[in-house]
């Protein structure tokens, strides 16, 4: 056991045994763990799609002076709102 002194207190530095970690994971439950991983992946996916959508939106605004087709502003806000709503809920 590694002990360090910090003022009047002692700090004990140890590592958690792999058996203890597996015990916690088993008690947590496989279904609950899978649900959390799926929700995390979905949140990251919606965050990524939000960033991509804003990037496309800002690049499209710079093409407004050209003959490029520009999307309807209501559609832009609607898509961004749907992504934001899915991300929060």
pLDDT at 59: 78
pLDDT of residue 88: 82
List strand residue ranges (DSSP E) for the chain, in order: 2-6, 9-13
Q: What is the tens place of the pLDDT at every residue in 5-53?
A: 666 666 666 778 889 888 888 888 888 989 999 999 999 999 999 999 8
Percentages helix, strand, coil for the chain (3-state, rounded to 5) are 65, 10, 20
Given a cut of 60, is residue 76 above it in pLDDT?
A: yes
pLDDT band at 87 (very low <50, low <70, confident <90, very high): confident
């Amino acid at each position: 056991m590694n002990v360090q002194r910090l003022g009047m207190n002692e700090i004990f530095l140890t590592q958690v045994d792999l058996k203890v970690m597996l015990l916690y994971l088993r008690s947590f439950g496989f279904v609950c763990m899978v649900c959390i991983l799926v929700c995390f992946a979905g949140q990251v996916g919606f965050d990524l799609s939000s960033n991509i959508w804003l990037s496309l939106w800002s690049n499209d605004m710079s093409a407004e002076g050209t003959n490029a087709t520009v999307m309807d502003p209501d559609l832009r806000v609607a898509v961004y709102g749907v992504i934001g709503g899915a991300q929060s809920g």
